[in-house]
Amino acid sequence: MPQLAIFASGTGSNAQTIINHFKGSKTVTVSLIVSNRADSGVLEIAEAEEIPYAIIDKDEFKDEEVMMALLEYHKVDMVVLAGFLWLIPSYLVAAYPNRIINIHPALLPAYGGKGMYGNKVHEAVKNAGDAESGITIHHVNENFDEGEIIFQARCTIAVTDTPDDIRKKVQALEQEHYPQVIANLLAKAK
């Protein structure tokens, strides 16, 4: 049975949706949550859902032996980034070819790259006066937000929408699509 690790730095709403989607599944388990922040909401989710979790610092993350031991111990087949803000080191990209995916809250290649996360993205979209935004789910390589695009979904932006309104529309798309895209990828990889 494929086992997922979810890497998250924030609230964890995507992590929660993914956990809910695969709860009781006979084909996929979430076997590990990894966070770089001890105060992130995703750790409360991990505790409530009784999923093992690890809090890592930057030195541990850069250390291939430490991270590979953690992922191998939890028999992780695929790494799902859900609001995880550190660049993925090249040893990890090499260890999980096409099996690390990320969700970005805009239509890449626009509004991607270092420092473009969360509300900063929605503020940039608003300042540009764009008529639409959306989500991008993509494979992860050594650069921020540059791996091959797997899936995009769009939403329209009204001129009266605030960055917070845009965030809500984008989050609705994330909730709707991320778990299913993961399920489809795992089914294809069989």
> Could you list the active site residues?
104
Asked if residue 12 binds ligand GAR (CB under 6 A), the reply is yes
Per-residue contact string for residues 99-118; x = within reach of ligand GAR by CB under 6 A: ----xxx----------xxx
* Residue reference for tokens 């699509």: 177
Considering only residues 56 through 85, tell me which ones interact with ligand GAR, judged by CB under 6 A.
82-83
Stretch touching ligand GAR by CB under 6 A, among 7-15, 28-36, 47-55, 71-79: 7-15
Considering only residues 118 through 137, tell me which ones interact with ligand GAR, judged by CB under 6 A.
118, 121
Stated as kind and residue range, the H or E segment containing 158 is: none
CA atoms within 13 A on the CB side of 133: 33
Considering only residues 138 through 177, tell me which ones interact with ligand GAR, judged by CB under 6 A.
171, 174
Residue type, 176: E
Stated as kind and residue range, the H or E segment containing 42 is: helix 41-49
Phi, psi (deg, nearest 5) at residue 139: -65, 155
Report the residue number, 3 or 175, with the smaller CB distance to ligand GAR: 175
Q: Which one, of 82, 80, 54, 58, lies nearest residue 69 by Cα?
A: 54
Q: Binder to ligand GAR among 10, 134, 147, 179 (CB under 6 A)?
A: 10
Across the strands, what pairs with 153?
Answer: 135
Stretch touching ligand GAR by CB under 6 A, among 5-13, 22-30, 44-52, 151-159: 5-13
Q: How far is C-alpha 133 from the geometric centre of its chain's CA atoms? A: 18
Q: How far is the CB of 94 from ligand GAR (least distance, A)?
A: 21
Which residue is closest to ligand GAR by CB? 83
Q: What is the CA radius of gyration of the chain?
A: 16
> What length does the chain have?
190
Q: What are the residues binding ligand GAR (CB under 6 A)?
A: 8, 10-15, 82-83, 103-105, 116-118, 121, 171, 174
